[in-house]
Amino acid sequence: GVIRTALHNMDREAREHYSVVIQAKDMAGQVGGLSGSTTVNITLTDVNDNPPRFPQKHYQLYVPESAQVGSAVGKIKANDADTGSNADMKYTIINGDGSGVFSISTDKETREGILSLKKPLNYEKKKSYTLNIEGANTHLDFRFSHLGPFKDVTMLKIIVGDVDEPPLFTMPSYVMEVYENAKVGTAVGTVTAQDPDTASSLVRYSIDHNTEEDRYFTIDASTGTIKTAKIFDREETPWYNITVAASEIDNPGLVSHVPVGVRILDVNDNPPELAREYDVIVCENAKPGQVIQTITATDKDNSANGARFHFSLDEVLSLNPNFTLRDNEDNTASILTRRRRYSRTTQDIYYLPVLISDGGVPPLSSSSTLTIRVCACERDGQVRTCHAEAFLSSAGLSTGALIAILLCVVILLAIVVLFITLRRSKKEPLIISEEDVRENVVTYDDEGGGEEDTEAFDITALRNPSAAEELKYRRDVRPEVKPAPRHHLSSSLDSIDVHEFIKQRLAEADLDPSVPPYDSLQTYAYEGHRSEAGSISSLDSATTHSDQDYNYLGDWGPEFKKLAELYGEIESERTT
């Protein structure tokens, strides 16, 4: 049952699939034997026996000059009859004048060659390029090398398309210089741009005013000359960055930009000054010619206009008998003593004017005054104390004694303040006696039982005006005149008329000379005697006897049947 090929050099690309019917017979194939058959499907596997081939030997591609560097500009593909890895190939540019401008790569999925741009195109300089592109298999089978070569070459001509381009500056960036303090309108420099197209349109210049720095300069729209719009100070801002735009007059939408840096040059316009504030100290036991301080200077201008400083004493003043100055010629100077024995008690501070000049053109100078303090020092020159504590020492008082004196003064002041505060806090009370109470307010957090509840509180004092006859004095005023005697009511409780009682109290308050002239509010919570009519509520009517006959409720219909039965039961209970 071995199946073998019957044809020589079978080609998968011509026919890939075969179907073979196999029959098996018993009894050696004699008559009367049994047989069975089956179908065998045979597929030819691929080998790399077909080289790649370009469909054409010449191709042509159009690419505009505005194409971006790195972008894909075209595709090319060679055909291979094989499949799988046997059809993999690689594309390369083998020669041509455009090999430095274009590059090609292989797409493994589609097996296409992707042509990309390496350098920018310029139609005005070169209008076309020629490339020789090779496509070759990457997996070779040396058994079929006699069928090769397994590669193919085609020629690609690239035509560059003309595009209206924006103006092109002659330089990628510009650096200009101008002196500080220059007048407004001083020319700084000129930028130049040209239209790269064959039409060569005129160019218009402008400054992008995106930042505040762009407003410090102006530009001529026709010539590109940049001028100053303000007076500059190098010590404030030494450098400015602006952006200049160039556009075609015929097509303002095509704009190109270039950065411009403006360096502000230095002018010697700042005099030198001391590098810092110096605290100069001279010891009382200093010797003549002793260096007590070394000073340095600084200049806001750059080194070309002030690197060398000259130090001297002010010549306008007379010769200083106490101190002198020596220029060290290294941009420093030394302050020296001219005599011995300085005394703090005689003079504790000296002032020394120093004149500093620079080496710029023109040279500038300034005068600074050094303050020299006289201090007491040890023998090794270490400062012990200066004039602030020297006066205390001369008076014979130490630091501990001074602190003790200050502490005693603080304690005495505290005692005096405490005494005055206690004395002012003592005031004579206005209450004549402890039992003098003008008014009592009693609060009950209890809810009463209604009109019938007379047990919750005693209202006798409200109903009996005689209970308020006791004389009481005001707590805030000491009476000087005895009040007029009041007439006590001798009537019984039931015969008192509250209205008359209130009128009587009002008259007594008006005639009392001991009462201040302001209104007095007195409240009497009296509601009068109990009504003789009794309660008119129907809540307890069921417990009282009544002659009312409710039999007529049965004649009102079924709606009042339940009510008639209820009152009928109550009536029957009363009867029994």
Across residues 294-323, what is the average pLDDT? 79
The percent of residues above 90 in pLDDT, for the chain, comes to 29
| Rounded to 5°, angle at Cα 407 from 401 and 413 | 140
Residues 346 and 299 in one domain: yes
Q: What pLDDT score does 135 carry?
A: 92
User: Token pair 């560097």 is at which residue?
Assistant: 69
Determine the pLDDT at residue 243. 92
Q: Which pLDDT belongs to residue 475?
A: 46
The per-residue pLDDT for 217 is: 92
115: DSSP letter: E
Examine the pLDDT at 66 and tell me if it is beyond 70. Answer: yes
- 526-538: per-residue pLDDT in tens? 555 555 555 555 5
From 339, 364, 385, give the residue that closes a domain: 385
The pLDDT of residue 576 is 47
Q: What is the CATH number of the domain that holds 245?
A: 2.60.40.60
Is the domain of 357 the same as that of 291? yes
Domain assignment of residue 419, yes or no:
no
Q: What angle do CA 257, 262, 265 make, to 5 degrees?
A: 170
Same domain (yes/no): 279, 375: yes
Classify residue 455: in a domain, yes or no. Answer: no
What radius of gyration, in Å, describes the C-alpha atoms of the chain?
A: 62
Residues 248, 547: Cα–Cα separation, whole Å: 123
Residue 491: pLDDT band with limits 50, 70, 90:
very low
Same domain, 292 and 377: yes
Give the chain's domain count.
Answer: 3
Same-domain status, 287 and 346:
yes
Q: Is residue 229 part of a domain?
A: yes
SS in 3 state form for 244-308? Answer: EEEEECCCCCCEEEEEEEEEEECCCCCCCEECCCCCEEEECCCCCCCEEEEEEEECCCCHHHCCC
253 plus 176 within the same structural domain: yes
> Which of 60-74, 236-250, 300-314, 411-425 bottoms out in mean pLDDT, i.e. has the lowest?
300-314
Mean pLDDT (whole number) for 185-203? 86
Same domain, 120 and 176: no
Mean pLDDT of 150-175: 90
At residue 391, the pLDDT reads 43
Residue 36 within a domain: no
Cα(291)–Cα(156) distance, rounded to whole angstroms?
88
Domain annotation covers residue 505: no
Which of 161, 177, 196 is the last residue in one of the domains? Answer: 161
Q: How many CA atoms lie within 13 A of 566 on its CB side?
A: 5
What pLDDT score was predicted for residue 313?
87
Q: 């200083």: which residue's tokens?
A: 320
Domain for residue 42, yes or no?
no
Whether residue 122 sits in one domain with residue 143: yes
Q: Which of 161, 191, 220 is the last residue of a domain?
A: 161
pLDDT tens digits along 257-298:
999 999 999 888 888 889 899 999 999 888 899 999 999 998
Task: Kindly report the average pLDDT of the chain as a whole number.
Answer: 79
Query: Are residues 187 and 145 located together in one domain of the fold?
Result: no
Instruction: Tell me whether strands 365-377 and 280-283 are parallel, antiparallel or unpaired.
Output: parallel
Tell me: do 249 and 295 sit in the same domain: no
**Range of the structural domain that residue 313 is part of:** 273-385
| Percentage of the chain modeled with pLDDT above 70 | 76
DSSP conformation class of 215: G
In a domain, 281, yes or no: yes
As a whole number of angstroms, the distance between CA 204 and CA 182 comes to 27
8: Cα separation from own chain's centroid = 83
Do 326 and 287 belong to one domain?
yes
Could you give the count of Cα atoms lying within 13 Å of 87 in the half-sphere of its Cβ? 16
Q: Are strands 332-337 and 58-64 parallel, antiparallel or unpaired?
A: unpaired
Which pTM value belongs to this model? Answer: 0.45
Does any domain span residue 15?
Answer: no
Distance (Å, whole) CA 15 – CA 30: 36
Label the pairing between strands 174-179 and 255-265: parallel
